[in-house]
């Protein structure tokens, strides 16, 4: 390879090209940030805070540097360069780059998806969100309040054990038993919390909605709390904290 400059993220060790531990993680972060919707400008700005002047001497990060990294197929591995990011991630990025180049003006629903997902998202993500919401419109009873975890139920378990112990002792301390019954009722009420009410509210909203050909910004605002985009899946967190996952078929 002579003295040819290595791509950012690699180093020479004993005559072989290897990922550079100090910068390869940065390459992975760039790819995942872009996949999640971050712009070239936002990524370069963040890197000028996190890792200034590491890409090209004293030059600060800019959009062109980020774009060169995103389109460099060597990062997905070949005969010379070991893999830093997977072929699937590389291909997903190329699809997203192509979509962004010809991106039309965003609708209100697309703007909300961008906010909920932490950045601009692909048409495949938009289609996945549309599919989930249409599924809930057709079957609102699929909405379920998340089951409290064992950690959430600790207070109720303690109150129940204390009450059982008190009732098992003779004579029964009625004043203590009354206090524990009240504490148990409070703990059980806390477990119900807002998720139950939110679930009923969401069911009413979806029962009144009509199946959509295009996403409704109003329905998104009322029902979805967060959108998480992975390489092969889209995860929606509804406002009752129920999580629904759908494969990204792109």
Q: Is pLDDT of 148 > 90?
A: no
**Coil vs helix vs strand at 18:** strand
Chain centre distance of CA 21? 26
In this predicted structure, the answer to whether residue 120 has a pLDDT above a threshold of 70 is no
> Is the Cβ–Cβ distance between 115 and 210 less than 8 Å?
no
Q: What are phi and psi of 93, to 5 degrees?
A: -65, -40
Fold of 10-101: Hect, E3 ligase catalytic domain fold (3.90.1750)
Q: Which pLDDT belongs to residue 153?
A: 64
pTM: predicted TM-score of the whole model, two decimal places: 0.45
Query: Tell me: the pLDDT tens digits for 220-241?
Result: 999 999 888 776 778 899 988 8
Between 7-21, 26-40, 113-127, 227-241, the lowest mean confidence (pLDDT) is in 113-127
How far apart are the C-alpha atoms of 96 and 100, rounded to whole Å?
A: 6
Length of the chain, please?
250
Per-residue pLDDT of 172-191, as tens digits, reads: 888 888 888 888 787 766 65
As annotated, the residues of the chain forming the CATH 3.90.1750.20 domain(s) are 10-101
């Amino acid at each position: 390879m002579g003295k040819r400059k290595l791509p950012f993220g690699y180093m020479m060790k004993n005559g072989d090209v290897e990922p550079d531990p100090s910068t390869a993680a940065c390459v992975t972060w760039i790819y995942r940030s872009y996949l999640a919707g971050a712009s070239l400008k936002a990524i370069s700005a963040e890197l000028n805070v996190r890792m200034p002047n590491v890409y090209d001497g004293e030059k600060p990060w800019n959009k062109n540097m980020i774009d060169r990294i995103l389109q460099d197929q060597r990062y997905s591995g070949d005969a010379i360069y070991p893999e830093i990011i997977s072929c699937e991630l590389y291909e997903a990025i190329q699809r997203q780059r192509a979509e962004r180049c010809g991106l039309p003006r965003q609708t209100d629903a697309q703007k909300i998806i961008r906010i909920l997902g932490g950045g601009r998202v692909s048409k495949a993500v938009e289609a996945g969100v549309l599919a989930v919401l249409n599924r809930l419109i057709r079957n609102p009873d699929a909405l379920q309040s998340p089951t409290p975890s064992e950690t959430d139920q600790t207070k109720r378990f303690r109150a129940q054990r204390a009450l059982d112990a008190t009732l098992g002792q003779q004579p029964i301390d009625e004043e203590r038993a009354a206090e524990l019954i009240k504490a148990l009722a409070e703990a059980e009420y806390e477990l119900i919390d807002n998720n139950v009410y939110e679930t009923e509210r969401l069911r009413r909203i979806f029962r009144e909605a009509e199946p959509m050909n295009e996403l409704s910004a109003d329905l998104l605002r009322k029902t979805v709390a967060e959108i998480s985009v992975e390489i092969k899946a889209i995860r929606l967190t509804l406002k009752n904290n129920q999580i629904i996952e759908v494969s990204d078929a792109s």
